[in-house]
């Protein structure tokens, strides 16, 4: 239930509660209000008695300006949609690179971006991530993969170069929807 609706609902209930003559009627109204709003019983009683006003909790004021948010999104796109954790580590050079592209970055906004944490960057950039469909293997790729002998097993030590051990590592922090780096590690069994 939306907060605005709850506020209007509690105003109506307060009028009904004031008109209730018996304790049984008031108890029924309190039960109804608790069921509708999911507020605690004591809070509903205080709202209906008038000893407490329904107030909107405002929360903390934003730490960074909207201009800083927009600048971060533009720099992130210019840098190739990289992971916010990596972007945080190179933000100063990313700002310089963005300025070299001919864009003006005011010093106050540059200071805001350098003060931002990686988690704040992630919260700002999360709605703008490109969501890709999960990779599905087509029949032709699966058939090709079946023809290539690969996998763990005993190496045939012939002493000649050409027998390789290959491994890949994704530096993605567990989220493969973002930009990240791959490491390809190839070792020749004969030459190491």
Segment among 56-60, 86-90, 128-132 with least mean pLDDT: 128-132
Q: Which pLDDT score is estimated for 54?
A: 56
Neighbours of 94 (CB within 10 A): 20
* Mean local confidence (pLDDT), 121-133: 79
Q: What is the mean pLDDT of the chain?
A: 82
Please enumerate in sequence order all residues whose Cβ is within 8 A of that of 10, keeping only pairs 6 or more positions apart, or say none: 33, 37, 44, 47, 48, 54
Mapped onto helix, strand or coil, the DSSP state of residue 40 is coil
Q: Is residue 70 within 8 Å of 100, Cβ to Cβ?
A: no
- Alpha-carbon distance of 123 to 121, in angstroms, equals 5
pLDDT at position 60 is 81
What is the Cα–Cα distance from 156 to 46, expressed in whole angstroms? 81
pLDDT higher than 70, residue 118 = yes
Please check the confidence at residue 137 and state whether its pLDDT lies above 80.
no
């Amino acid at each position: 239930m939306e907060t605005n609706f709850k506020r209007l609902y509690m105003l109506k209930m307060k009028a009904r509660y004031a008109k209730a003559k018996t304790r049984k009627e008031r108890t029924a109204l309190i039960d109804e209000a608790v069921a509708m709003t999911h507020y605690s019983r004591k809070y509903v009683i205080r709202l209906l008695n008038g000893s407490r006003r329904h107030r909107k909790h405002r929360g903390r004021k934003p730490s960074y300006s909207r201009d800083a948010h927009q600048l971060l999104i533009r720099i992130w796109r210019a840098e190739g949609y990289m992971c916010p954790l990596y972007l945080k580590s190179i933000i100063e050079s990313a700002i310089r690179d963005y300025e070299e592209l001919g864009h003006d970055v005011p010093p106050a906004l540059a200071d805001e971006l350098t003060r931002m944490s990686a988690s704040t960057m992630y919260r700002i950039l999360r709605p703008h991530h490109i969501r890709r469909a999960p990779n599905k293997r087509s029949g032709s790729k699966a058939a090709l993969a079946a023809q290539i002998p690969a996998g763990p097993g005993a190496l045939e030590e012939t002493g000649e170069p050409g027998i390789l051990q290959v491994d890949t590592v994704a530096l993605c922090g567990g989220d493969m929807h973002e930009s990240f780096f791959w490491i390809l590690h190839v070792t020749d069994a004969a030459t190491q």
